[in-house]
Chains A and B, each alone.
Chain A
Amino acid sequence: MALDIKRFVARFVEEARDHLRRIEEGLGQLAAGGADAEAVNAIFRSAHTVKGSSRMLKLVAITETAHKVEDVLGALRDGSLSASPDLCRLLQRGIDCMSAQVDQVAETGTPSDPDPDLLAALAQAMGGESDAPSSPPQPPPSPPPQPAATATEAQQAEVKLKSAETVRVQLSKLDELIKLMGEVVSSHARLRQRLVDLRGFERAGDSWGGKVQGFARDLRDDVFTQELLMDELHKKALIMRMLPLSIVFEPAARMIRDLGHSLGKDVQCVTQGSDIELDRQLIDRLSDPIVHLLRNGVDHGLEPQETRQAAGKPGHGTLRLTARQDGGFVVVEVADDGAGLPVAGIRDKAIKKGLLTAEQVAAMTETEIIDLIFLPGFSTSSIITDVSGRGVGMDVVKRVVVDELQGSIAVESRPGQGTTFLLRLPLSLAVMRVLLVEAGGQAFGFTAQYVAHLLDVPAERIITVAERKAVIIDNEFVPVVPLAELVGVPVTPSKRSGCLLVVIKVRNEKLALLVDQLLDEHDMVIKPLPEHLRGLALVSGMVMTGRNDLVSVLQASTLLDAARRQRGGGTSAPAESAGTVGIRVLVVDDSLNTREIEKDVLEAHGYQVTLAEDGIDGLAKARAGQFDAVLTDVEMPNMDGFSLTAALRKEEAYAHVPIIIITSREKEEDKRRGIQVGADAYIVKGDFDQSNLVDTLKSLLG
C-alpha cells in the first residue's frame, strides 16, 4: 500500500509543480495588469486542481493552503476583489508556501503545516474587502508584522535544486535542431544520388578494375550505416517535440463543461486516447478547431433537456473527444449525442444565403448538403448566441485541418443520435511521404495521404463523357485531367503508349491526373514557402530531391477545385437539343464522381437532374417527386440497384417510368437479372459514352 501511494505522490509532485509554475506566471501577468478574465480563470483552475489532488492524497496541509488561495482567486475571478499589488504579493506568498510544501512532500512525503499568519492574511483579504458573511473563524490578530521570520526560515531551508528529470528547452531551439536534422536528411539524399552516379560509371567502363567496385561497395555501406543513424537521430529529435493530446483535450473538456453550465445545458465531456502524442506544431494549431467543434456540439448539437427526455435519451448531453492511432495518422473524433445535423435547415439556409439555387440543392445528396456547412459564411444557428453562430467557424476549421495540418475532415450525422466530426491528422508535419512525378517537363510532389491509386492504363480505357475524359476505377467514373494543364505548364506529347495516372482523393472526391512519369517516393522534409507566398493555394510546400532540386508539393484540394472550375467552363452551353427541357431524371449512384459526370452529361442535353446516393435515398426521392426517368448503379450500400428497380416497379407512379441500370457488371446473368427486376435498359460502364446514354434515354422516353 505504501508503494502505491508513493507512485501517486510522485505524480502529484510533478503535476503540482507544473500548476504552481503556471499560477506564478499568471500572477506575474496579474501584477503587471495584463491579465484578462481567462488568465484569472486559468490560475484559479490550477489552484483548484492542486487543492483537489492534494486532498485525494490526504496532504491536508497543502489542501488547506490551496483552499485559501483558491478562495481569494475565486473572488478575483467574480470581481468581488480587485488585483491590487498587495493582494498579488499575498497570493505570491501563498504560492511560495505551497511550493515549499510540495518540495517537502517530494523529499519526506509529508508537508509541513502552513504559516498560520499567511492563512490568516489570505482569509482577511477575503473578509476585509468583500465583507463576506462567512468571515474567518478567528479574527486575525495582526496582518503583516511577524511572518517574515518564519517564512524566510522555511524558504531558506527549501531553496535548492529540484530533481532534473526533464529539461526545458526553448521551442525555437528545438525547431532549429529539427530544421538542421532535415538538412542532414536532405544532404544524405544527395549522398545516395552520388552512389547511383557511381554505379553508372561502373557500368560504363571497367578499366579501373576492381578498385571502383570496391569503392562503390564501401560507399554503399557507409551510406547505409549513415542512413540508419540519421533516421534514428531524426526520430529522436522529433520525439522531443511531441506532446500528448491531453494538452488540447483537457482544457477543451473543462471549457466545454463550463460552457454547458453557462448555457443551462447539463453537459458531460468524455475524453479518450489523450495520451497519444503529436508534434507540437500540430498540437498548437489543433486547439482552435477542436474547441470550435465542441462548442458547436454544445450549442447546436445538444437539444434542451426536455426535448432529450421526451425522445427517451438521458437528460444530460454527452460530448466525446477521442483519439486513436491509425497507421501513420491520428484520428480525432468530436462527437455529440444530440439531434444530428438538420439537413433540411442547412438546405434552406444555403438557398436563403444565395450560396446555391433551389434546383442545385434539390439535386444534391444528403452528404453533399452536410458538406455545405464548411462553406465560408455558413452558420446554421438562427439566433446569434454568445457561443457560436457567428459565421466564422466551420470554414476556418476546415482550412486549418486541411491546408495547415495536412489532414482531412469528415462528418457523420445520424438524426436523433448525434453528429461526429472525424479529423485525420499526420503525427508530424516535419517529414512526410512524398510521391514525385513529372509532367510537362517539370517535377511535382504529392503527399501520400492524398494519393489513392497509381495506374498505368492503355489509352483506350480513357473514355470521353460530356466532352471530357474520364476513367472507370472501382465502378466509378473519375475525371482525367493532364496535370501539366492544371498547373499551367505546356503539356508535352507523351512518348508512352499507355496513360500514367495519379489518382488523388480528397474526402470522397477523386481526380485522375495524367503525368509523364513517376520519379521517386520517399519520406521527405517539407519546407515552407517564404511567408509572402503562403497564399499560393496550389503549393503547400517544397521538397528537395537527391539532386538538390526544389520541387513543389501540390495541394490536392486546390487541384480538385481547379479541375472543377475547368469543367464548369467547358459545359457552359447547355440545352442544345429541344424537347428535353423540363424532363426530370433521377440519378442514383454511390460514387460522387459518377453522379457528377452523369449529371453533367444529362444537363448538357437539357435534362433536369436530381441525385441520390444509394437505393434508399433514391427510393425516398422517387417517392417524394415524380421523375420521368431513373438511372441507377447496381452496387450500392443499404439498397442495391436491382432491389431499387424492383421496389420502384411496385410503386404505381413508377410502374412504367423508364429505369436504366448503369453498371460495370458485364456478366450476362447480371443483365438478365436487371431485365427481370424490371429495368428498361442495361448500360455497361465500359462502353458508356454520352451519346449511348442520351440516345437510350431519348428512345425510352419516346
Chain B
Amino acid sequence: MDETANRDDMTLDQVLAIRRGAAGPVVNVDEPLVKLVVFVLNGEWFAFHGERVKEVLSDFPVYFLPGCPPGLEGVINVRGDIESVLSLRTVLRYPAADADSASRILLGQGAEIRSGLRVDSVEEVMDVPQSLIQAPPHTIPDHLRSLVLGIVAFQGHMVTILDMDRLLADYRVGAL
C-alpha cells in the first residue's frame, strides 16, 4: 500500500522489473538484482548475464572464413575490430536454421575470449531479483548441465540462464 512512496526511491529499471513480474510474487526491492539478456533458440528460452553481453547486434553481414572450425559462422566487423560469430544452435546441438530478420548476434565477453553468438531472437533485457533464480532442475540434458547457472520464470516461460564464460572457454578448448 505504501507502494507509491516506495517507487520514488526506485530506478526506472526496478519499476519496470516489478511491472513485468506483476504476475509473480511480490518483490522486495532491496534485494540484489541480476541483469539478464533473454533470448530464444529453437523455441526455447535462454538468458546470459547482462555484464557478459557487450552488445546486441542486428543486421551485421557475416563473412566467410576459410578453414574455420565447426560452429563458427564466420566473422563480423564491429567498428574496426574483427569478431567471430558462433552459431549457438550448433554449439548447443540444436538443428541448424537459416537466420531470419529476428535473428541477432550477442557480442559475448568471456574471461579470455570474446565472440559473437548467433541467437534466433532477443526477447528482453531485464533485471530480476536474485531470489527468483532457482537451481537448475535435474532434467536438463547432460551436455548443457555444466553451462547452466539457474532458471527463472518469465512471461510464462522457463528461462535457462547460461554461463557465458564457461561456454566460450569450453568452445575454445573444443569441449563443445
Contacts and interface: CB of A to CB of B under 8 A. Distances in A.
Interface in A534-561: 536-539, 542, 544, 548-552, 554
B66 A550 contact: no
Interface string B103-117: 000000000111100
Interface centre among B66, B72, B82, B83 (most CB of A within 10 A): B66
A539 B64 contact: no
A528 interface: yes
Contacts of A552: 63-66
Interface string B58-91: 0001011111100010011100111110000000
B7 interface: no
Interface in A546-592: 548-552, 554
B68 A536 contact: yes
B66 A548 contact: no
Interface residues of A, number: 28
Contacts of B64: 442, 489, 552
B166 interface: no
A225 B115 CA distance: 38
B93 interface: no
Contacts of A186: 80
A539 B83 contact: no
Contact of B61 (A529, A532, A549): A549
A527 to B, nearest CB: 5
A625 B113 CA distance: 58
A530 B67 contact: no
B115 A550 contact: no
Contact of A548 (B77, B81, B83, B113): B77
B114 A487 contact: no
Nearest to A187: B80
A149 to B, nearest CB: 56
A537 B81 CA distance: 20
A528 B84 contact: no
Given A531-B113, A532-B172, A539 B82 contact: no
Contacts of A527: 80-82
A544 to B, nearest CB: 7
Interface string B25-53: 00000000000000000000000000000
Contacts of B65: 529, 533, 536, 539, 552
B82 A551 contact: no
A549 B63 contact: yes
Nearest to B116: A530
* Chain A interface SS verdict (over half): mixed
B147 to A, nearest CB: 18
Contact of B84 (A487, A489, A533): A533
A539 B115 contact: no
Contacts of A548: 77
A548 B172 CA distance: 28
B66 A538 contact: yes
A606 interface: no
Contact of A530 (B61, B63, B84): B84
Nearest to B66: A487
A65 to B, nearest CB: 49
Task: Kindly name the residue among B61, B63, B72 whose own CB sees the greatest number of chain A CB atoms within 10 A.
Answer: B63
B77 A550 contact: yes
Nearest to A535: B69
A620 B83 CA distance: 56
A550 B75 contact: yes
B77 A183 contact: no
Given A179-B80, A182-B80, A542-B82, A529 B67 contact: no
Contacts of B172: 532
Given A532-B84, A542-B82, A549-B61, A554 B113 contact: no
Contact of A544 (B72, B77, B114): B77
Which residue, B63, B67, B80, B172, has most C-beta atoms of chain A within 10 A?
A: B67
Residue among A444, A537, A542, A552 with max Cβ neighbours from chain B (10 Å)? A552
Given A530-B83, A532-B172, A542-B63, 13 more contacts: A186-B80, A488-B66, A488-B67, A489-B64, A489-B66, A527-B81, A529-B65, A530-B82, A532-B112, A537-B67, A538-B66, A550-B75, A552-B64
Interface of A: 179, 182-183, 186, 442, 444, 487-489, 527-533, 536-539, 542, 544, 548-552, 554
9 contacts: A183-B80, A444-B66, A529-B82, A530-B113, A532-B172, A539-B66, A549-B61, A550-B76, A550-B82
